[in-house]
Chains A and B, each alone.
Chain A
Amino acid sequence: MQTLGGILTQALHLALMLVLAPLVPGLVRWLKARMQGRRGASPLQPLRDMRKLLRKRPVLAENASAVSEVAPYVAVVATLVALAQVPSFSHGMLLAPLGDLLLVAGLLALARVALALAGLDVGTQFGGMGAAREMSFAAFAEPTLLVAVLTFAILAGTTNLDAVAATFRDGQLGLRVSLALAGLSLLAVALAENARMPVDSPGTHLELTMVHEAMLLESSGRHLALWEFQAALKLELWLALLAAMFLPFGAAPGGAGPLAWALGLLAWLVKMAGLMLALAVFENAIAKMRVFRVPEFLGAALLLALLAAALLFVSTGLA
């Protein structure tokens, strides 16, 4: 029964994630437009864009290699598998034993390397510039993520995603300053990883400032659709991860029935909507920073994460 529930929740989770993924960037964009007093495109616009791109014939550069063709699939698959491990409405999914925060970080790194290699494949300046910047930002984002994971590992005793989320949901830990600090640092990492403001501007195509878009200039057709889908999946993944770690209320425990799932789904949708709203507000309120200020931004996040861990060390006297 447990296994059946695991399979069923995993399938539902995956279907939910795949269906909702294109809506996430669309909704954020729509919310931002509304706040700026514009009507904005429909939240379904990314979905329509992807369907249009899929129908078009992909054009590859003359000297493009197999990397350009394979990389989008690698990135989408890696992100999808990472997303499959992040609990949404229910715990105890089929892939829960596989789900691990370090593995999620590794899979995101795999997607990032695929994207950077695709950017370098044709040998144009923008691709190279974007790849170099993306990989450099990761050098600051990954340590921050790992130190935040350290806080979780201390509190939950493991890096298994499902176990960490379940520990936090059970609420024996209560409110902790460390978790708040780790949460802030993870938010910063999420902004950098998803090429959002203030690290990168998702709305512009201005050459000098762009990072993520610069690597996609040479892709078209289904390849571009896959890249856009990957970006949407990644944004959804980070929001779901933040929801699972810091807003764990309402998710159904492993082995629960359909009613608990429905409640969990409702709670999850509310959490995601809240996070998207917060993202839209934040992006409207802040300006993009210079590229070489990003290390300071992420460095501050790293310090916050270290502070969170150090607070745990001194406050509880762990042994």
Chain B
Amino acid sequence: MLTALSLALAALLLLGAAAVPLARRPAGARFVHAGCLGACVVLAVLAFWALLASGGGPVLALPFGPPWGRALLALDGLSAWFLLLLGVTGGIASLYAMAHPAAQPGAVPPFPLLLAGMALAVVAADVFTLLFGFEVMSLASWALVAADHSRAETRRAARLYLMMAVLSAACLVPAFGLLVGHAGGFSFAALRAAPPAGWLATGVLVLLLLGAGSKAGLAPLNAWLPRAYPVAPAHVTALLSGATANVAVYVLARLLLDLCGPAQPLWWGVPLLVLGAGSAVLGALRANLEGDIKVVLACSSIENIGLITIGLGLALAFRGADLGPLAALAAGAALLHTLNHGVFKTLLFLAAGSVERMAGSRVLDRLGGLIHAMPATAACALVGIGAAAALPPLSGFASEWLLLQALLAGWRTGDVTFQVLAAAGTALAAMAAALAAAAMVRLFGLVFLGRPRTPRGAGAREVGRLERWALVIPAVLTLLLGLLPGPMLALAQPALATLLGRAAAVPAQGFALLGGSGEAVAWYLPLALLAVLLAAGLLVALVVRARSPLETRRGPTWDGGFIRPPDYLPFGDPLTQPSAAGLAQPLHRMLGAALYAARETVDMPRPGETRAARHRATLADPAHDWLVLPAGRLRGAVASWLERMRDFTVRRCLSFGFGTLVVLLALLAWLEAR
């Protein structure tokens, strides 16, 4: 099995190399993406198989690797779960990319490399291979973000992305270094045998949260995310959000729950809970305030990653408090939400790409009424939006139900501080869910409902057949995941076993999800719910049809008293429709002013003046002002200081080199002496 896996990885690498000459022609690009699709299907099947066989396979040592050993691969439960997610989202994204191969030749070669890097990071069984895969992933995704580098916006986003990748590496490598130095070996087995404690463990936790957290998009180090996601092509963004962020989640889960051992204290979960809850609310709120489809979806990704992190933090805390079943509940919620979010976010980003291509814009204020021109896309997007808004019986609700059940059980830890934190976390998670629902309603309402807002948007057409399949498949998967969360969690049992030990019991039974612990258990039965909903729907429809047999009639609507639109606007005056800023206004005032320094300025003409009134709504991400800008200034200062070294005289250069040598020798002598 691992051999097949490494062959698939090698095939992806070869595809990446072959893509350089092939990408110039559409047929070649299509071939490359078809190859990616095949490799992803292989990965997904292998992962599914490994999960069915309950993981825990042998470790494969590749015949090459770092100078001091060989690269190790293994497919245990956790790896297989994330590989399954990677295979599914990667396959869908590749299928979508096949539909229009001529889109961006620059984005073709790094795509297989990104897939290979992520797969390598996920199946690695030693630190070096994991970090290597992670950095391949970072570099390839940077290349993908920068694919359309002729635009200044893209270049800025790519530079920011690269800086964040460097920061994340600069934190992850020392985090692993601390562990390796403590354990004296690179393989995961060696790390597991020597779990860190005390200050060492704290150092690992902090560095890991900085390194993997910034990659996943946790607040406050997520200023790059709403900028980098929109500039990449749609299928790349889908993969970045659906898989790359989740690889960072994988690193968090692998290190904190698996490699650092089961003996960590309860407070280990607290930073994750706090960061997760903060990210969830901030991301969901910002999704309500932005005016670009992809930025809205990127902010919604921040929210979902925050929810997943809450689940991981709760799992850590429950394990620290010796509450095994509740730890399994929280970890199960995190794992299930990872998969659900990966699938529905892939769907939404791909639908956003279709809208952008067919209606010529991804700015909310230039779209509208697309449900008439693109009914299939709209239907698929509606499924994704329902899942993102956590509506029953779709997939988002199932995993958020589990997560809320875990939060509602937070008081069982017995520690008053944690109880209060969990209660606040419950409120914040619920608020994030409601804010996400508001953001999704706004998104769907502005893009697909109402009337077109530009002539270009009015001329939109439905997408082609292949592209439609790439939307229908994740939509169907979202429906299935929503109806079958129980079997999916049963499938995730090996992953839970990797995280929490063999005895971890899945919080599911048959088709039902179980919440709580002890004899008083709450159930969520999506299939029964669907049956009841359908039966009630049938009943209501029959009664209403019998009582109200008249067919509907169409008529003009009262447009709030505005004058008739001019003839060059056959679809009506877009200014009389609700705008993106208008729909954002209540939340902009209620929460945005406090959390995002949101300001509104109204420029009202005096009576008699003929110019139009102007309304401007602005918001500033505090993380950008307080973290990114000072970091940029620091980098500039350091660079200009280093620049002065070029003007050093020979004497100073020599003394500099000599001084370095002396310092290093002294360090060596001190280390030897200890």
Binding site for B on A (CB under 8 A): 51, 54-67, 69, 73-74, 76-78, 80-81, 84, 95, 97-98, 100, 102-103, 106-107, 109-110, 112-113, 116-117, 120-129, 131-133, 135-136, 138-147, 149-150, 153-154, 156-160, 163, 218, 221-222, 225-226, 291-292, 295, 302, 305-306, 309-310, 312-314, 318-319
Distance from A107 Cβ to chain B, minimum over Cβ atoms (Å): 6
Q: 7 A-B contacts, Cβ less than 8 Å apart?
A: A60-B553, A98-B532, A102-B401, A106-B392, A106-B401, A109-B390, A158-B521
> Is A60 within 8 A of B576, CB to CB?
no
Kindly state whether residue B372 has any CB partner on chain A within 8 Å: yes
> Is the pair A125, B577 in contact by a Cβ cutoff of 8 Å?
yes
Q: Give Cα A62 to B572, complex, Å.
A: 12
Residues of B within 8 A of A225 (CB): 544, 548
Residue in A57, A149, A312 whose CB lies within 8 Å of B551: A57
Q: How far is A154 from B416 in the complex, measured between Cα atoms in Å?
A: 14
| Cβ contacts under 8 Å, B516 to chain A | 153, 157-159
- Residues of chain B at the chain A interface (Cβ within 8 Å): 368-369, 371-372, 386, 389-392, 397, 401, 404-405, 408-409, 411-412, 414, 416, 419-420, 423-424, 426-431, 433-435, 437-438, 440-442, 444-446, 449-451, 515-516, 518, 520-525, 528-529, 532-533, 536-537, 540-541, 544, 547-548, 550-560, 572, 576-578, 582-587, 589-591
The answer to whether B557 and A61 have CB atoms under 8 Å apart is yes
Q: Is the CB of A150 within 8 A of B408?
A: yes
**Cβ of A249 to closest chain B Cβ, rounded Å:** 22
B441 touches A122 (CB 8 A): no
Number of A-B contacts (CB under 8 A): 284
A103 to B444, CA, bound (A): 24
Q: A63-B372, A141-B434 are in contact. Are A131 and B441 (CB under 8 A)?
A: yes
Which B residues are CB-close (under 8 A) to A122? 449-450, 557
Selected from B386, B532, B544, the residue in CB contact (under 8 A) with A113 is B386
Give Cα A144 to B423, complex, Å.
Answer: 11
A98-B430 contact, Cβ under 8 Å, with A120-B441, A124-B557:
no
Q: Apart from A109-B390, A139-B591, A146-B404, what 13 extra A-B contacts exist at CB < 8 Å? A: A61-B557, A62-B557, A69-B552, A84-B536, A106-B397, A109-B434, A110-B392, A117-B449, A120-B450, A123-B450, A136-B586, A158-B516, A306-B424
Instruction: Identify whether the interface residues of B are mostly helix, strand, loop, or mixed.
Output: helix
**Interface pair A100/B583, CB less than 8 Å apart:** no
- Give the distance in Å from the alpha carbon of A220 to the alpha carbon of B552 in the complex: 10
Known: A131-B583, A142-B434. A57 touches B550 (CB 8 A): yes
Most buried by A among B404, B434, B515, B533: B434
Are B524 and A103 in contact (CB-based, < 8 A)? Answer: yes
B522 touches A100 (CB 8 A): yes
Interface contact B540-A76, CB-CB below 8 Å:
yes
> Is A129 within 8 A of B442, CB to CB?
no
B520 touching A143, Cβ below 8 Å: no
Chain A hits for B434, CB < 8 A = 109, 135, 138-143
- Report yes or no: A113 in contact with B391, Cβ–Cβ below 8 A: yes
Is the pair A98, B523 in contact by a Cβ cutoff of 8 Å? yes
**Are A106 and B368 touching (Cβ within 8 A)?**
no
Indicate if the CB atoms of B426 and A150 lie closer than 8 Å: yes
A38 to chain B, nearest CB (A): 31
CB <8 Å contact, A127 and B578:
yes
By the criterion CB–CB under 8 Å, are A156 and B408 in contact?
Answer: no
The smallest C-beta distance from B571 to any residue of chain A, in angstroms, reads 8
B541 partner residues in chain A, CB cutoff 8 A: 73
Bound complex: CA of A163 vs CA of B405, how far in Å?
Answer: 15
CB < 8 Å neighbour of B589 from A74, A78, A292: A292
Choice from B414, B437, B528, B591 contacting A109 with Cβ under 8 Å? B437
Q: How far is the CB of B310 from chain A (nearest CB, A)?
A: 13
- Known A107-B392, A113-B389; judge A159-B522 contact (CB<8 A): yes
CB-based contact B426/A314 at 8 Å = no
Contacts of A159 in B (CB 8 A): 405, 408, 515-516, 522
> Do A143 and B438 contact each other (CB < 8 Å), given the known contacts A57-B553, A95-B532, A157-B518?
no
When the two chains form their complex, are residues A97 and B554 in contact, meaning their CB atoms are under 8 A apart? Answer: no
Leading 3 A-B pairs by shortest Cβ distance? A128-B578, A123-B450, A120-B445
Complex contact A73–B537 (CB within 8 A): yes
User: How far is it, in angstroms, between the C-alpha of A156 and the C-alpha of B437 when the chains are bound?
Assistant: 29
A69 to chain B, nearest CB (A): 7
- Tell me whether A124 and B560 are in contact (CB under 8 A): yes
- Is there contact, CB below 8 Å, between A132 and B578? yes
Provide the bound-state CA to CA distance between A76 and B544, in Å.
11
Residues of A within 8 A of B551 (CB): 57
Interface contact A102-B404, CB-CB below 8 Å:
yes
Quick check: B550 and A143 within 8 Å, CB to CB?
no
Task: Say yes or no: B540 contacts A128, CB within 8 Å.
Answer: no
Write out the residue numbers on chain A whose beta carbons fall within 8 Å of the beta carbon of B419: 309-310, 313, 318
Residue in contact with B555 in the complex, picked from A56, A61, A76, A121, CB distance below 8 Å:
A61
Contact B438 A136 (CB under 8 A): yes
A136 in contact with B427 (CB, 8 Å): no
Of B450, B547, B560, which one neighbours A126 at CB under 8 angstroms?
B560
A58 touches which of B550, B558, B559 (Cβ 8 Å): B550
Are the CB atoms of A77 and B438 closer together than 8 Å? no
Q: Looking at the complex, which one of A81, A97, A142, A160 makes contact with B520 (CB distance below 8 Å)?
A: A160
**With A62-B554, A142-B434, A143-B430: A77-B401 Cβ-Cβ less than 8 Å:** no
**How far is A101 from B576 in the complex, measured between Cα atoms in Å?**
40
A101 to B78, CA, bound (A): 32
The distance in angstroms between the C-alpha atoms of A146 and B422, with both chains bound, is 12
Identify A67's interface contact among B371, B414, B435, B521, CB under 8 A. Answer: B371
Taken together as a complex, chains A and B put the C-alpha atoms of A272 and B450 apart, in Å, by 40
Q: Is the CB of B555 within 8 A of A62?
A: yes
Residues in chain B near residue A226, CB distance under 8 A: 540, 544
A163 to chain B, nearest CB (A): 6
Asked whether A150 and B423 contact (CB < 8 A) given A106-B390, A109-B391, A318-B414, the answer is yes
A160→B522 contact, CB < 8 A: yes
A133 neighbours in B (Cβ, 8 Å) = 586
CB closest residue in chain A, given B519 = A157
Chain B hits for A153, CB < 8 A: 408-409, 516
CA distance A60 to B557 in the complex (A): 8
Known: A106-B392, A116-B441, A319-B414. Contact between A98 and B529, CB under 8 A? yes
The complex places the Cα of A176 from the Cα of B395 at a distance, in Å, of: 37
Q: How far is the CA of A163 from the CA of B519 in the complex (A)?
A: 11
- Interface-central residue, B548, B583, B585, by most chain A CB under 10 Å: B548
From the candidates B405, B427, B518, name the one contacting A143 in the complex (CB within 8 A).
B427
Please tell me if the beta carbons of B528 and A59 are within 8 angstroms of each other in the complex.
Answer: no
